[in-house]
Structure 1
């Protein structure tokens, strides 16, 4: 062990401390020489040239070719072949022995090992900390990437909402700057109109209160004159147009009716009258059979000379037409005061057993022959389905029209507002809904149909007349 260490030290010392003299041959320790290659050594030029030092170093003298035919120079004898003692100057007297080197190394090992162990533990701690830091950095990198994706998504959403907000802001600004002021002006105009109507209503209420300050008459005085019908009353001297008692059948009870004794020589029994919308004509079958409404009222002259809105009753009308030939006069007025009429020299109405079938003939007048010809503005089948002649009477609770009989959703009376001789459905509708002002629209109608007081051959489907009346009297050939 000591010898090996001694040789290692001797070699290192000889290599490190070989003295060099400027211009003199260099002293080389044989142990420090290492061949350049694994073959045999070759000599350098020059006499007595020492072998190369430390990796092939050579003298600076002029090279001389190696001797030919002579034996190689013998190597210098190694002074120390082993052991633990030497004081050779060539080996270096200051070089420690192998054993001393071992002791020195062991001593240094005892001092260095704790530091090395401490350094190892520190390295381990540092390694663990490095792993923790690496894991934390990796996690943070992933988190940052995820947050970047979320941030990019948020940026897109924010941009989208910003665009939407700008659009809404523009809409709100337009509404505030333009639409709202326009609507406010329109509402102000409507408010002014409503105020005017309220003032008119307040005035009308005040007038009604003034009229009602005195007791009202609940019935009209009945004239002394009476007869089978208005023509008979006229012949007996009842020449004033007012309400009378008539008794067509001597076995039946008398009833009230308004007699028009001034139009076309008088004698007319008013069987239907519309004038102000005060009476609802959307009635059941039994109401139309018995009759309903207000026959007449007093305007302060002591007798009922102003007819009200009413329907005389299908049973009574049918009985009057069976007494003999009967003619029908229909008079109407629009909201500008224009008047027209339609006259039929033959008018009959059958009884309840066959649903009061209508029959008319021999038209004359200025309103247009809707009963027999239908609506002039229509053509072909569309026109024939508006003819009323020959139709049965219908109400919303008894469907006798030609529009899909038996189907409760296809009823002319239900859609057009009153009882009438509907076909599929009408060209005139005297018992329809009352509309103030004349013109009306589908949006105003209950079912979107022309349900007003219509006479199509005069004013079309979407104009509701101000007034209309139907009168009958015995027909006499002139």
Structure 2
């Protein structure tokens, strides 16, 4: 820029200098000096222009090299994004394969456990009969029957062996569930990492739905596993149940006892299980969904007799600073089946064995009933208790999952489903509703 200014200034000064000399025709020397001055100025002007052109060429070469480097970076980023897409697809395929194997192994282990439990029952009955016979023989004879004692000892060893097998099968099932959960978390972490990288690059960020009903509004009509991103949260996977009225986000599901729900606070906060089977979505995820607006909670139950019930609540779930307290609004005159979820104005905080937040002063309800739940005085309900292995009254198995109806009867359950949807959703199904 300075060179160009100099090139313009020199001829101006030269012209002014030339104008100051006399223009007499007879003075040859003065005229020749003027020509020399002008020629010298023009020479300097040409030199300045040459330097300016050379600098401009160097700047253009730098700009071209930077453009080439930028183009190479764009190509590299596109290649990395394509590789990430392929890796994500591979993770999804592996997850689907693992889900199928998990379901198959779960059914196999479930059938084996049932068979082992039947054998244990048979052995127990045989042992009781043998004990009665041995007692009769002892009363009739002066000395006990050593053979009877040997048989009883053998039966006891067999029972212990069967119990060990049941424990081994349960441990194997727990490890498979943990492996599947790790695979799901790996996929979610990959999506989060890709989301952060895209944000740093300044590219357009893919817009995830806020919940399953948002997916329904966007045109999705197929139930299944999707990735959503609630407000103020990272993306995570959910199970969506699509109906003719809208989309429901499933937060809890139990159907066969394949998942152990007896976890501590941290697991209930993050979530556990398989979205293709039994699972708990996680208190933090449930909270981030429900705080986006006014939501409904629908609880669908099937008791041990095969009878189904469905209850609908207006719901609000606080954050971790209030121990994820549950708030429900209901009409006490509705006569529905689900009066056991009475929260009151203050709400019911979530409680686990290592976080005793229940309203009972003298007992830890989570330790008493197993699992984690919004306990009040321990006796109303617990949908996260132990799955019942055999039918029977709840009073004989206090740690199993149960639900108390409005008549005060505790119903043993075989399946449970809890799901959320915005209050704007409409329904015409014939169910019991509580508002």
TM-score (norm 1): 0.45
Higher percent of residues as helix: 2
Structure number with higher relative contact order (C-alpha < 8 Å, ≥ 6 residues apart):
2
Larger radius of gyration: 1
TM-score (norm 2): 0.49
